[in-house]
Amino acid sequence: MQLQDVLFTQGFGTRRVCAGLIQQGLVQFREAGREHFQPVRGLRADHDVDPQGLWFQVQGVAWPYAERAYLMLHKPAGTECSHKPGAHPSIYTLLPSPLRMRPQKSAVQGVQAVGRLDQDTTGLLLLTDDGQFIHRMSSPRHHVPKVYEVRLRHPLQEAQVRRLLDGVVLEDDPQPVRAAACVLVDALHLQLTLTEGKYHQVKRMIAAVGNRVEALHRARIGGLALPADLLPGQWRWLGDADLAAVRG
């Protein structure tokens, strides 16, 4: 693959912009099996490199070549999962520009959130530019479990826990919605597992049994838990083990 095409596919601008970065000597690369980055000064923008295992630096920042981008983000409170947010900042402002500008065949550029979390909900959020992955993780047919830590306004009774497991009816859906698992950590702390993602589902389910959510945090998707060292607002690449854990 030509080096300018590598940069283009990774979101560093048009091919002309990428060629300019190379010509200005702002790019270095390290192919698989090599220990050190190689400067590209003097190389043509159409210099061929093997993208598999390739790392490159643009203006001193190192990037791995990724045919598809898979990320996890620790979503902080007060952010919206939208490119056009209303009253709160967008989660996409937490990501570097190349991840937001990765080219796609559709009109939408960059990585997209796999599902959404409310602006006041925190925790694990996946992002990718792989449409099939988004569909698989979001579709209720695949029953991907998502674990939420729920802080409640009032103590939750065992009878309310049973109702959540047996199914509650939400206002706009005649079909009962059931929790896959409910663990009462203490009277005001519930660990709730869902396998589908309806609008405001956790809050509406808790309201349906006569209580109210005070704080909501997503701790796990599939077998992937939010790492303790990933602070609110931080992101990282998903490795092969992470993807295997998510997919189950």
Tokens of 24: 């200005």
* Rounded-to-integer distance, Cα 172 and Cα 15, Å: 48
Write down the catalytic residue from 118, 166, 172, 240: 118
CA torsion, ordered 105, 110, 113, 114, to nearest 10 deg: 40
C-beta contacts of 210-215 below 8 A and 24+ residues apart: 210/154, 210/160, 211/152, 211/153, 211/154, 211/156, 211/160, 212/152, 212/153, 212/154, 213/150, 213/151, 213/152, 213/153, 214/151, 214/152, 214/153, 214/188, 215/120, 215/122, 215/150, 215/151
Name the residue with tokens 């006569």: 210
The answer to whether 240 is a known catalytic residue is no
Nearest-CA neighbor of 242 among 221, 216, 224? 224
Q: Is the dihedral of CA 37, 40, 44, 46 positive or negative?
A: positive
User: Which positions are annotated as active-site residues?
Assistant: 118
